[in-house]
Amino acid sequence: MSDFRADGYAAIDWVARYLEGVGDLPVLAQVEPGELSAKLPLSAPEEAEPFAHVLRDLDDLIVPALTNWQHPRFFAYFAITAAEPGILAELLAAALNQNAILWRASPASTELELRTVDWVRQLLGLPDGWHGHIEDTASTSTLAALIAARHITGRNVVVCSEHAHSSVEKAARMLGMELRKVAADDEMRMRADGLDLGDAAAVVATVGTTSFASVDPVRELAARAHEAGAWVHVDAAYAGSSWICEEERWSQDGVELADSLVVNPHKWLMIPMDCSLLWTSRPEELRTAFSLTPEYLRTADDAFALSEYGPALGRRFRSLKLWAVLRCYGRTGLQRILREHVRLANVFAEWVEADPEWELCAPQRFSLVVFRRNASDEENERILEQVNRSGEMFLSHTKLDGRYVMRLAIGNARTTEHDVRRAWDALNKEAGR
């Protein structure tokens, strides 16, 4: 067995070097499909190898096949950051290897999870008394919310906006529920008028849609849904983190009426993948939908089992990274980063607006800019594909009324105005070609 301490120091050195130099790597992986597979042995080694071989192959094989999500010019999808205290906490969580299937299996993990999720509730200005726990992703959180909705209402229809994330449709499909997509208005907000909710199990409202960061009228939707006896689930997977800044809480209007809410700190609160928070104002009903305790898990100490609030029994120690990042940044540290991201998005949006060759395609919200070149769809696609291929930066796209549009999402703590300027220059250079 190799020397754990020496290997550990080497691994930390490796991580420090990676983070220091990530901005010099290509953002988008510069490999062809199958290129890494061709270099990997077809089966596991027969005999033990030193850990140093793993680090060596990390450099030689794995890094070239990485799309670097920690890169300051990663602007695609929703850009994210794994902050250093969270990275170290993941190491500690692996070392402790807790599996909080019930309270006695890990009192520490169970109670720290409840407390840290409640810290986030307070930081985001959410109502007192909500129960929150951690799931892996928003997809799972939304699936759990819809399971509860169906269980409680006995109905089978899910209603959401045409711009809701595909995880809503996927959850409905997995559950065999019918999905009803509602048209959005000119600002990409779900229309609340004329909704037929008579048979709805759940209405899913989104705060910060994936394509445009638009905000559904949660208050009105919640009022109508509750009148019809439906469960209200709010998907604020991306934008919910922004509520740590009071000036972004305009988008929280009506969220206090939700039956469940998902926010992903792994999207915009500097927590390493994965960490999705699911709160409910109806914890007993959520629990009823999931609670199933086999004999071998029955205990005399009748304490909290977070596995009774979601699909998974095994639960890893995710709260450790939440705890570490919240403590090492504090409210003000996180606010500073998010405010800078919003500022940078506004700066970029101003450049777009001021240039007649470009067009801002959606109202400016949070840290996302949706825009396009005044040219054909093919030309927009060509420009984006070329700048992405260059490795200089990585943006993603979507479609708006059938037209190809680009999305620049700012969410990496290393991103500076210089990076945003480089992205703008690269796009213009490619467009002028």
Query: For binding to ligand PLP (CB under 6 A), which residues are involved?
Result: 77-78, 137-139, 165, 167, 206, 208-210, 235, 237-238, 264, 276
CB of 141 to ligand PLP, least distance (A): 8
206 in Cβ contact with 160 (< 8 Å): yes
Tell me how long the chain is: 433
Tokens 């959401």, located at residue: 160
Residue 9 φ/ψ, nearest 5 degrees: -60, -40
Question: CA-CA distance, 327 to 270, in Å (whole number)?
Answer: 12
Question: Which one, 325 or 431, has the nearer CB to ligand PLP?
Answer: 325
Written as six digits, the tokens of 413 are 């703590």
DSSP state of 268: H
Give the amino acid at 117.
V
Residue 370 φ/ψ, nearest 5 degrees: -115, 120
Crossing angle, helix 84-96 and helix 319-354, to 10 degrees?
Answer: 150
361 in Cβ contact with 405 (< 8 Å): yes
- Exposure pattern of 200-209 as b/e (b: 16+ CB <10 Å)? bbbbbbbbbb
The set of residues, in sequence order, having a beta carbon less than 8 Å from that of 303 and lying 6+ positions away, is 102, 103, 104, 107, 110
The closest of 45, 40, 78 to 62, measured between CA atoms, is: 40
Pairing of strands 231-235, 200-206: parallel
The closest of 19, 146, 14, 96 to 316, measured between CA atoms, is: 96
Written as six digits, the tokens of 123 are 């930081």
Question: CA-CA distance, 200 to 146, in Å (whole number)?
Answer: 11
167 in Cβ contact with 144 (< 8 Å): no
Q: What is the H or E stretch that residue 179 is in?
A: strand 178-182
